[in-house]
Amino acid sequence: FLMLRQPLRSTPLYSSAASDVYKRQVHGDIIKMFFMMSLTKVLLVNPADLGPKLDATLKRKLKELVEGTVNGRYGFIICVLWIDDVKDGLVKDGSGDVLFNVEYQAVVFKPIKGEVLDAVVTDIKPDSINVTIGPLEGIVSVKHVPLGYKYDEMVGAFEGPTGGEKITRGSQIRMRLSGISVKTNNFFVIGAINQSNLGLLQVFPLCCQLNLDTPISD
């Protein structure tokens, strides 16, 4: 291998979505699943891309390769914030391609067991409720649905004891995460809605003070 030196200063790669998420964390919002992480990535650059525009090429390749992907250890990479450093490049024998080890800062979303999240119902089955939470997919087992809710096969919904509360496709629910697994390109979460101040969001007043210390019942 040959060494190719490529000094690079830290250059912001802000997007409005990433900066908004980061501000919510920095300013002490109750959301704790968003983190700013220092990560590394090895980028392969074609000889044709070497030259005065190499910095821009590295930034573009980094964003294309990592944004929207899942790192089982650190979480779902939402956005690259900036590049901290680029190590000396290694020229591969035979091809001329160059490998650059890039250190960068990114905003990541990592679900945490016990965390309370708001989800959107995507499907209803007699034994479960399928949901999405931003980039995450998840499920709520029927045994973790509030007492008194019954599955109504005619409308495909879980109906509350009063008859006026229905969990259907498109409903928003608040759930506590009880299990997390990593798929090939995403996280899959298991949750519960059978606790105080969890469940169908429309039944809670906006000023509701959450009491989220109740353990999940089996």
Per-residue DSSP letter, 168: -
Please say whether the beta carbons of 4 and 98 come within 8 A.
yes
pTM of the model: 0.63
pLDDT bin (cut points 50, 70, 90) of residue 92 is confident
What single string gives the DSSP state of each residue in 70-109? EETTTEEEEEEEEEEEEPPEEEPTTT--EEEEEEEEEEEE
In terms of Cα–Cα distance, which of 25, 139, 49 is closest to 100?
Answer: 49
Provide the pLDDT for residue 49.
83
Element (H, E) at 3: strand 2-4
Q: How far apart are CA 31 and CA 24, in angstroms?
A: 8
Distance of CA 124 to the CA centre of its chain: 23
pLDDT in tens, 36-69: 889 999 999 888 888 888 888 999 999 999 998 8
Q: How far apart are CA 1 and CA 95, in angstroms?
A: 11
pLDDT bin (cut points 50, 70, 90) of residue 158 is very high
